[in-house]
């Protein structure tokens, strides 16, 4: 049984596919799930800002008949007023689940260690596994069987890249991260993804050459500067500009689908022409955050419901 969702690897291929199918069911028949979390309370803690994650969890939990309690970066800053351990021990006495967006992954593992209720990672320095679930839900809706696809990520190797890479490997999707030199994904996570991909007949690659993205079915962009990094975007513009998701690059790769986790910095990592263009599934992807997370919450908090 699934207890926590911290790096996404808690789900094997079968579990991930089951979850994506449940998400499709919840999306198609929301009223069937309107009591799936009845009587359950979920605390959502945020050490960093959020639009999509905060709202998709809050509204999603409400649609499942549950109750979400939001703690902002002042009240949700674990380790400041009291220890992470004490957050976990206290919250566990009232709530049925914890969703946390944290600066350091270690905070999540400590929360999970001392919490008697499930803990979900809603972004940390290393992973964004709920995002990856929504991304693959979107790819499945648009393209069908994701094991037949190639996905290319362009830009900085970061938390989003890591979670995409791991879920791609798990689901048998060929994956390439096209990143400038010095901005590659974490080498340990890459190694892990390569091992998982090998078991599933898929490939994981890292390259600094755009040509590596040619033949991808979908191309994916994220910000060039993640939350917590104070570097101005202008300062990294020259380094990342060759990786900008623009019309010329899209045509060069031949990709049919464009994804971006958002928030997007228009005319930096992606042009408005592409973001608002016919290949963009970015808003569908944002909507799917809620459906994918609802499937996860039902699986974690009320597995007998499904």
User: Quick one: 47 or 222, whose CB is closer to ligand NVA?
Assistant: 222
Residues 110-139 that bind ligand CP (CB under 6 A): 123, 131
285 binds ligand NVA (CB under 6 A): no
Residues 19-78 that bind ligand CP (CB under 6 A): 50-53
300 binds ligand NVA (CB under 6 A): no
131 is catalytic: yes
CA distances from 276 to 116, 131, 135, 283 (A): 44, 20, 18, 10
Contact partner, 161, from ligand CP, ligand NVA, none, Cβ < 5-8 Å per class: none
CB of 233 to ligand NVA, least distance (A): 12
Q: Which of 227, 264, 279, 306 binds ligand NVA (CB under 6 A)?
A: 227
Contact partner, 51, from ligand CP, ligand NVA, none, Cβ < 5-8 Å per class: ligand CP
128 is catalytic: yes
Contact partner, 58, from ligand NVA, ligand CP, none, Cβ < 5-8 Å per class: none
User: Total number of residues binding ligand CP (CB under 6 A)?
Assistant: 9
145 is catalytic: no
Contact residues for ligand NVA, defined by CB under 6 A: 123, 158-160, 222-223, 226-227, 261
- The residues that are catalytic are 101, 128, 131, 222, 261, 289
């Amino acid at each position: 049984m699934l207890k926590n969702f911290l790096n996404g690897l808690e789900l094997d291929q079968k579990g991930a596919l089951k979850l994506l199918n449940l998400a499709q069911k919840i999306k198609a028949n929301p009223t069937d799930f309107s009591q799936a979390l009845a009587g359950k309370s979920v605390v959502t803690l945020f050490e960093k800002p959020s639009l999509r994650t905060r709202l998709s969890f809050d509204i999603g939990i409400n649609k499942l008949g549950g109750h979400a309690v939001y703690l902002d970066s002042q009240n949700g800053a674990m380790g400041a007023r009291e220890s992470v351990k004490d957050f976990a021990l206290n919250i566990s006495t009232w709530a049925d689940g914890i969703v946390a967006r944290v600066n350091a992954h270690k905070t999540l593992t400590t929360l999970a260690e001392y919490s008697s209720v499930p803990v979900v990672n809603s972004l940390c320095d290393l992973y964004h596994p709920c995002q990856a679930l929504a991304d693959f839900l979107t790819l499945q809706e648009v393209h069908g069987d994701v094991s037949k696809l190639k996905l290319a990520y362009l830009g900085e190797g970061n938390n989003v890249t890591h979670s995409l890479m791991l879920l791609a490997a798990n689901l048998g999707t060929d994956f390439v991260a096209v990143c400038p030199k010095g901005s590659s994904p974490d080498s340990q996570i890459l190694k892990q993804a390569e091992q998982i991909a090998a078991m599933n007949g898929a490939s994981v690659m890292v390259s600094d050459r755009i040509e590596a993205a040619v033949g991808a079915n979908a191309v994916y962009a994220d910000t060039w500067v993640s939350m917590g990094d104070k570097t101005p975007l202008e300062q990294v513009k020259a380094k990342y500009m060759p990786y900008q998701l623009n019309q010329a690059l899209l045509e060069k790769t031949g990709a049919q689908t464009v994804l971006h986790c958002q928030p997007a910095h228009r005319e930096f990592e992606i042009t408005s022409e592409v973001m608002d263009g016919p290949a963009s599934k970015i808003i569908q992807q944002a909507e799917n955050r809620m459906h994918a997370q609802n499937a996860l919450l039902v699986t974690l908090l009320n597995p007998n419901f499904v």
